[in-house]
């Protein structure tokens, strides 16, 4: 039987973190690297990526930036080929790219709706097709799709975002059922309220007060507080966990009145 340290270790594994140039998934990428994984940091902003790569390198980890338009299947196929050329395998995939908008419902344009669905849902579906095939063929792998508190209960002011995340929750459970016997686990990591880049524009003082009133811990989460849950889902410690929604929200989902 493995020791706890061995269970949570990602030594000799490769993790692909889509959205890894952002705050939350960037922290997850650092966690993977510190647990021993080689990390493919995927995004569009090389400057943001370099800051994260420097942190990982300073801590003794191994990571490389791979630019990619994750709404394009051909771009994702090239990403997989590039990661395999560099690291030989993919053991973990995090789908964390996302966009948000507080546009009032009657003002949501077709263009805005299409963009949010394309990035938040279509990009995840395509990445699961491309990387999931590799994992199924190898007979092992862990996919972690980033959901949202709004995927469990719809939140005001973020209509399209909430719909896209609810779809991710449903889609992930369906894939988990499909691939469970093939050695590939699929789970949803559900952050509560973290002051991530995409959320700051909708965090007005009245909204912050409302969030705090519904969060028993009475504070926002910090990015590093997602690392433990991510490592559980990615490592052998979570070998019998698939199709779950792992909520990290300071008690928000448990709050009623």
* Residue 165: closest CA among 127, 139, 133, 191: 191
CA distance 250 to 239: 25
CA distance 76 to 86: 15
Residue linked to tokens 């698939």: 242
CA distance 148 to 193: 9
Residue linked to tokens 């052998």: 236
- Please state the separation of Cα 35 from the chain's center in Å: 17
- What amino acid positions are annotated as catalytic residues? 161
DSSP sequence for 64-84 = EEEE--TT-HHHHHHHHHHHH
Q: How many CA atoms lie within 13 A of 252 on its CB side?
A: 24
């Amino acid at each position: 039987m493995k020791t706890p340290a061995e269970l949570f270790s990602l030594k000799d594994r490769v993790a692909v973190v889509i959205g890894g140039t952002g705050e939350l998934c960037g922290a997850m990428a650092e966690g993977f690297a510190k647990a021993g994984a080689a990390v493919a940091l995927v995004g569009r902003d090389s400057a943001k990526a370099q800051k994260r790569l420097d942190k990982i390198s300073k801590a003794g980890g191994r990571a490389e930036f791979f630019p990619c338009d994750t709404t394009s299947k051909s771009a994702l196929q090239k990403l997989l080929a590039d990661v395999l050329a560099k690291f030989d395998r993919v053991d973990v995939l995090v789908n964390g790219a996302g966009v948000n908008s507080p546009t009032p419902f009657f003002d949501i344009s077709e263009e805005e709706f299409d963009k949010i669905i394309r990035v938040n849902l279509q990009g995840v579906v395509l990445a699961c097709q491309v990387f999931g095939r590799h994992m199924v063929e190898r007979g092992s792998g862990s996919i972690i799709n980033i959901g949202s508190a709004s995927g469990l209960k719809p939140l005001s002011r973020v209509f399209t975002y909430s719909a896209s995340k609810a779809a991710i929750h449903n889609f992930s459970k369906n894939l988990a059922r499909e691939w469970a016997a093939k050695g590939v686990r699929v789970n949803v990591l559900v952050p509560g309220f973290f002051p991530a880049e995409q959320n700051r524009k909708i965090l007005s003082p009245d909204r912050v007060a409302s969030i705090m009133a519904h969060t028993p811990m009475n504070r926002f989460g910090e990015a590093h507080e997602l690392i433990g849950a991510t490592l559980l889902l990615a490592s052998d410690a979570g070998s019998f966990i698939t199709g779950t929604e792992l909520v990290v929200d300071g008690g928000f989902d448990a709050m009623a009145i």
